[in-house]
Structure formats: C-alpha cells, structure tokens
Structure 1
C-alpha cells in the first residue's frame, strides 16, 4: 500500500495518526466502502480490529464523529468529554485513539467513495501518490434505456483502471503516464460499482474506489 499513503498523510486530523494505523484503516475501508452499511456502522467496522472488545464505546464515539463539522474536506471534532487531544497518537488514552481512528476512517471512506446522480452527474477526485497526483472523473448519464457510467483517469505513471458492475467489467491500461477511460452501460439503479486503480511502477497493490449512482 506504500504508493497510496501520501494522500492519507495530508488529512487535517487533530493529531497525526501513525502510518501503520493508516495502512490498516485504508485496507479495511476499501473492503467495506461498497457495502450497504450505514455510515456509523462502516466507521465502527473500519476501526474495530484496532480496538477489540470495544464495540459499545466505538458506536458511541462514531455518533460524535458523524455529527462533527467537516471543513474543506477535513474532519474535525472535539475530544471526548473531560479530555483534550494529546501531543501524539501514542500518548493518547484509548478513547482519544478511538476518536482519531474514527476521524481518519471517515476521511478515507469519503475519499474512496464517488457518488454521482441526476443532480450531480460529474464528480472529480484527486489522490496523492508517491509518483504524483492521480485524478479521477466520474460521469453519469441516467438514460432511462441505458444508464451509462464513465470513469476518466489521469495516471501519474503507467497503470490500469478496472471498472466492475453487476456482471460486467471494463478495463484500460497504458505503460506511460497519461489518461485512461473505462465505462459501463445498462446500469442498475443504486448499484455500487468497484473501480480498481493500479500504478504498475509504484505499487502492485490496487487502490479500490466505490462509485455509487443515485437517482436524485
């Protein structure tokens, strides 16, 4: 996952979260982003392996995190009552570490999810990698006869895009930096689609996004 960590280090969290924790959260968030779970359940699922046996506390703190304001794409929230944020993640008490991990998970899940709709048919996303910036543009055409999803990617190095839907797949690759495009037709309403991005030179592990279509 080394190529993808640069983006996570740019999150505006109250206290920096260790890279080892961010890597684990990124892996878990990729696994659950496409699920039908509600946001709070996704956050708890993302961090529960870090805090075994603490599901009740995590559920409570996840509620706090979800109601906290997000400014300029950066999640911020107050620390648990009666405490303040410590100088480092390692120096934090468990409740503080839970909040910081939940905040990081919320940022990761948000970054990994692209939602296009009738009212917002185009969504763009950037992800900083160790070789440069990956740019993705999702375009949705809600044709009643053949709804259409197209992903354009600008890759900082050679690599490939794979877009998967319900029984269908579109793939494109190139050996040098530049643009790629994948698309699917005959989409089912509200069906999540999986987009895998792989940068051949930087990291053999793909980054997995979830692309959601909404009919509003």
Structure 2
C-alpha cells in the first residue's frame, strides 16, 4: 500500500464521514443544497492537495461563474468527481446512480442536497429521473453528467448514452463540455490503489442547445471531447 492509498483510508474517508454527518444538519438548515456544495467543493480541493494531485485547467475563460450549465465530461477515474467539484466555480449537482442514494448517510446527504438519483434503462422511472435533472437546471444550478455511464478502464472515450442530451434538449441549458485527461492513472478502475500525478481538464466552449435535437447535441459534445482527448492526451 503506497502513501496516497494510506492517506485516503486514514484521512480522507474519516473526514468525509464526519463531513456527511455535518452535512445532514446543514441540509436541514439550507434545503437548497448550496451550502452542501461549498462543503463538497472544499473537500474536493482538500483531496487533491493531500494526495498530491496537480490539476491543470485550460479554458476557464469559456464559462461564467454566474451562469448555469449542463456539464458533460468523460469519466476515466474515481478521482473525477472530487476534482471536478474542487476545480469548477459552479453551483454544481451531480447525476448519480440510484444505488448510491440507498447508501446510509452518504446517499441521504446527496439526495437532501439536490443530487439527482437516476434509474438506468428506458422505462418511465428512468424518464422521471431525467426530468428531475432538468428541474435542477431550471432552478439556476448546474448539473453534471457522465454520459458514458461508467468509468473507462484505459482513459479511452466510451460511447455516449442519449439521456444526458434529452435533458439538454428539454431544458435548453448550454452544455459545458469538459475533457479529463490523466485521472485513469490516479485512481484506475477495478483498483483501490491511488497515485499522485497530474490531471488535465480542458473546458470547451459552451454548446448552445436551443433548436437542436438530442442526437445533434450528443454528436457535437462527443466530437468536442474526443478531439481534445486526441490532441491533449497524445501530448501528455
């Protein structure tokens, strides 16, 4: 077990546990989830500093902190979520698998804070959960979705699922495409080992959604993230 993995278990997990206990109370005081988000963003920055993860961000000028977006990124490692929370200056909520919402304490805090628990599949329940994400966007908050649906094992981009782009089409909220490079080496899939290193985030120009169908938005977003992976990933 290396130092970063040890720090994760003896420092980060206990901090997260006690933070979630506090969050349950904070969410009662502030049911909007905005204070919870500030706590989560601090936790993301804390994780990066403690584990020696250097985050290099390109394209910060491409988004406004006072706007809300449907944030779409590739998903290459377990570190993606805390790094995104800490790096983006947005009032952000994540779309997460419904199973995570059933985890005691963790799931309760996420649902209280307005995170969207989504059913997988094409049934009515899945559609209803997608509409919940659109509702969060309509309230002026940003929502993040991993359209691949799962982490890539080698950092290569997987096919995108349509659901995220149905939300974009219905809400008419701009898509903020983000390409993440290097996180697959920090916390690989099917491994508990964590390494220090550098993660690069490329924030693309917002993709306007008005008048576009879900399939068009899916293709444009995929093309943007794929091109950045090809350009910057090969240079890494």
Normalised TM-score (structure 2): 0.30
Give the structure with higher Rg (CA). Answer: 1
Higher helix fraction (1 or 2): 2
Query: Relative contact order: is structure 1 or structure 2 higher (C-alpha 8 Å, sep ≥ 6)?
Result: 2
